[in-house]
Amino acid sequence: MSGPDLSESTGLISPAARDALQTWLEHQRALKGAAENTITAYQGDVADFLAFMTQHKAQLQGLGALAKITITDMRAWMARTRGPNVGPRSMARKLSAVKAFYRWLAEREGFEPTAVLSTRAPKYQKKLPRPLAVDAAKALIDCVEIQSDRPWVAARDVAVLTLLWGCGLRISEALGLKGRDAPLPDTLRIVGKGGKERVVPVLPAARDAVEAYCRLCPHPPEADGPLFRAIRGGALSQRAIAQVMADARMQLGLPATATPHAMRHSFATHLLDAGGDLRAIQELLGHASLSTTQAYTAVDTARLMEVYNRTHPKAG
């Protein structure tokens, strides 16, 4: 697979730096298993940084020059990058990409990247996801079921949302299911972000919803084709499902945070509230870090201490 296109920034990036960036991106893809969306973001963020340094220094920056970047240079880049369309969260992401590139480049070229790695990201308040209450999630699915005047479309939308809520799938994972996956088995083998594979139990409600959709769908099933079809038979888009939920939440008076991804949040939260194990929920969601699962489930310190005090052998 060819690397990302750097043509837009070619004139502002030295050939050596451009080649290094391409090599690093391939390293991220092949050895780190980074997703294509991540690769694209890395490419844009680091290319913009390299292009800025050319303009800032008024000459193309080869690898030797890039090894001599100072704290002042980093501050100039951050000051120029921050703006109305680049908030603290986006700035932190860009800096993270530049640091990752520099760690790799410094190891390869044998220099000390202290100025880059010591640069601090702007502070920002992490937004906790807002899961739906159980009755709100049920109401959304009930509402979606009567929204379309095409019974097969209504059944399709119910099936997708039931997979998000009942199995904790990402919307991309649900829409990535193929015709050969139906009828759904007791467990699904899902390949998520970064190629990370996990096994997800399929609830009877989700299996029944998919079967109901398959019975009504007018488009002949294709083993290698998408399981969930758009009106004309093509693959169903994430935007279409987002619109379905937008229409339903307006009817129900739910907030704008009631999105397809909120159904996945709700899966985690409702499992935890029912006594589910945080580590097991992490596996079901496919999170590499337990802290990510804690954010999804809005776990607070008091709740964690309660679990600790109840289960740790030395607590008694």
User: Could you tell me if 174 and 189 are in contact, meaning their C-beta atoms sit under 8 angstroms apart?
Assistant: no
Q: Determine which one of 29, 94, 156, 170 is catalytic.
A: 170
Closest of 178, 161, 182 to residue 260, by C-alpha? 161
Q: Is 261 a known active-site residue? A: yes
Q: Is pLDDT above 80 for 161?
A: yes
Q: Is pLDDT above 80 for 146?
A: yes
Q: Determine which one of 82, 93, 261, 303 is catalytic.
A: 261
User: Could you tell me if 162 and 205 are in contact, meaning their C-beta atoms sit under 8 angstroms apart?
Assistant: yes
Q: Is pLDDT above 50 for 6?
A: no
Mean local confidence (pLDDT), 157-172? 86
- Per-residue pLDDT band for 224 (boundaries 50, 70, 90) equals very high
SS3 123: coil
The DSSP element (H or E) to which 189 belongs, if any, is strand 187-191
Query: Helix, strand, coil proportions of the chain in percent (round to 5)?
Result: 60, 5, 35
Classified by CATH at the fold level, domain 134-261 comes out as hpI Integrase; Chain A (1.10.443)
User: Could you tell me if 91 and 121 are in contact, meaning their C-beta atoms sit under 8 angstroms apart?
Assistant: yes
Q: Determine which one of 156, 264, 265, 270 is catalytic.
A: 264
Q: Is pLDDT above 80 for 118?
A: yes
Q: How far apart are CA 209 and CA 228, in angstroms?
A: 12
Q: Is 170 a known active-site residue? A: yes
For residue 240, the model assigns a pLDDT of: 92
Q: Is pLDDT above 60 for 8?
A: no
* Tokens 């920002």 sit on residue: 124
Q: Determine which one of 29, 156, 249, 287 is catalytic.
A: 287
Q: Is 32 a known active-site residue? A: no
User: Could you tell me if 174 and 165 are in contact, meaning their C-beta atoms sit under 8 angstroms apart?
Assistant: no
Q: Which residues contact 143 (CB under 8 A, 6 or more apart)?
A: 248, 251, 252
User: Could you tell me if 146 and 233 are in contact, meaning their C-beta atoms sit under 8 angstroms apart?
Assistant: no
Q: Is pLDDT above 50 for 282?
A: yes
For residue 2 the two structure tokens come to 């060819």
CB atoms within 10 A of CB 203: 16
Q: Is 27 a known active-site residue? A: no
User: Which segments of the chain belong to CATH 1.10.150.130?
Assistant: 7-117
Q: Is pLDDT above 60 for 186?
A: yes
Q: Mind listing the pLDDT tens digit for each residue in 23-55?
A: 999 988 887 666 777 888 899 999 999 999 999
Which residue did the predictor score with more confidence, 171 or 130? 171
* Tokens 């480049």 sit on residue: 105
* Tokens 């308040």 sit on residue: 125
User: Which segments of the chain belong to CATH 1.10.443.10?
Assistant: 134-261
The whole-angstrom distance between residue 75's C-alpha and the CA centroid of its chain comes to: 29
Q: Is pLDDT above 90 for 217?
A: yes
Q: Is 287 a known active-site residue? A: yes
For domain 7-117, the CATH class is mainly alpha
User: Could you tell me if 219 and 135 are in contact, meaning their C-beta atoms sit under 8 angstroms apart?
Assistant: no
Q: How far apart are CA 34 and CA 28, in angstroms?
A: 6
Q: How far apart are CA 47 and CA 49, in angstroms?
A: 5
- Per-residue pLDDT band for 294 (boundaries 50, 70, 90) equals low
Q: Determine which one of 18, 99, 193, 219 is catalytic.
A: 193
